[in-house]
A = this chain, B = another copy of it.
Amino acid sequence: MGRNVAIVGATGAVGVELLRVLEAREFPLDALRLLASPRSAGRRLRFRGEELPVELLGPRSFDGCSLAFFSAGAGVSRAWAPRAVEAGAVVVDNSSAFRYEPDVPLVVPEVNAEAVLGHRGIVANPNCTTILLLVVLAPLHARAGVRRCVVATYQAASGAGAQAVRELEDQSRALLAGEEPRPERFPRPLAFNLFPHVDSFLPEEGFATREEMKVVWEARKILGVPDLALVCTCVRVPVFRAHSEAVFLQFERPLSLEEARSALSQAPGVRVVDDPEAAEYPTPRLAEGGDEVLVGRLRVDPSCERGLCLFLAGDQVRKGAALNAVQIAELLA
Residues of A within 8 A of B (CB): 148-150, 152, 154, 168-169, 172-173, 176, 187-189, 192-197, 201, 203, 206-208, 229-231, 233, 235, 237-240, 244, 246, 248, 257, 276-277, 279, 281-285, 296-297, 299-304, 307, 309, 311
Contact = CB atoms under 8 A, between A and B. Distances in A.
A274 to B, nearest CB: 9
A154 B302 contact: no
A328 B233 CA distance: 33
Contact of A189 (B193, B235, B257, B285): B285
Nearest to A207: B276
Given A150-B303, A154-B237, A193-B283, 12 more contacts: A150-B150, A192-B239, A194-B284, A195-B281, A196-B281, A197-B281, A201-B277, A203-B277, A231-B302, A233-B246, A233-B297, A248-B248
A237 B136 CA distance: 23
A197 B273 CA distance: 13
A230 B148 CA distance: 16
B284 A238 contact: no
A279 B41 CA distance: 34
A194 B303 contact: no
Contacts of A279: 187-188, 197
A149 B307 CA distance: 13
B229 A303 contact: yes
Given A207-B276, A248-B150, A239 B194 contact: yes
Contacts of A193: 239, 283-285
A195 B282 CA distance: 7
Contact of A283 (B152, B195, B257, B282): B195
Contacts of A194: 154, 237, 239, 244, 283-284
A184 to B, nearest CB: 14
Nearest to A154: B194
